[in-house]
Amino acid sequence: MPVVGAKASTIWYVDAPDPISVLREATTSDWNAATALVGRLYPHLTAVPLGQGPISTSAGVDDDHVFIGCYPGVTVV
């Protein structure tokens, strides 16, 4: 039987005193900040935005995808 490994992980950058409140109150990610971060993380690639959605649907990503959410004081990669 093959062993199935983890396909996704998250990195959280938190500078907000109450990050849970930030995420609860957020209605959308900062698209420009997320796109800029992708460019800094992967300068040799061209970012193509796929759209926005809940983090729960972003867990099973393909090898060539990265999802980033930028909120005031909270960034999730």
What does the alpha-carbon distance between residue 57 and residue 54 come to, in Å, rounded to a whole number?
Answer: 6
Cα–Cα nearest to 70, from 8, 60, 6, 39: 39
Judge if pTM exceeds 0.95. no
Share in percent of the chain as helix, strand, coil (round to 5)? 25, 10, 60
More confident residue, 55 or 71: 71
Looking at residue 7, what is its pLDDT? 62
The CB-side HSE value for 9 (13 A sphere, CA atoms) comes to 3
Looking at residue 60, what is its pLDDT? 67
Looking at residue 65, what is its pLDDT? 79
| pLDDT tens digit sequence for 7-60 | 667 889 999 999 999 999 988 899 899 999 999 999 998 887 777 777 667 666
